[in-house]
Amino acid sequence: MSTTVPSPEPSQESAELWEARRRIRLLEQENEVLLRAAAYLSQAHLLGIPAYLQQQAGPIKRAGSLVVSRA
C-alpha cells in the first residue's frame, strides 16, 4: 500500500519559500561579518599589534605608506 503526501497549498509553499530566502540572506550577512572580522584580526596580527591594543589606541593614520601617528 502506497501513501502519497499531499502537496502543500500554494500560499503555504510561498510562505516557506519566503522564509527560506530570508534565512539565506541572514546567513549571508553573518558570513560577511565573520569574513570582515577575520580580515581585521589577521591585519592586526600581521602588523604585530594585538587586537585589544589596536582597538584601544585607535586606527593608525597613514600618509602613503608612512605611519604618521596614532589617533
The three cell numbers of residue 6 are 499531499
| Number of structural domains found in the chain | 1
Q: For 19-57, how does the pLDDT look when each residue is reduced to its tens digit (9 = 90+)?
A: 999 999 999 999 999 999 988 888 877 777 665 565 555
> What is the pTM for the complete model shown?
0.51
Q: How many CB atoms lie within 10 A of CB 51?
A: 14
Specify if 58 maps to a domain.
Answer: yes
What are the residues whose beta carbons fall under 8 Å from the beta carbon of 45, sequence distance 6 or more? 51
DSSP line for 18-32: HHHHHHHHHHHHHHH
CB atoms within 10 A of CB 60: 13
pLDDT number for residue 68:
46
Query: Domain for residue 5, yes or no?
Result: no
Q: Which domain holds residue 59?
A: 10-70
The pLDDT assigned to 6 comes to 66
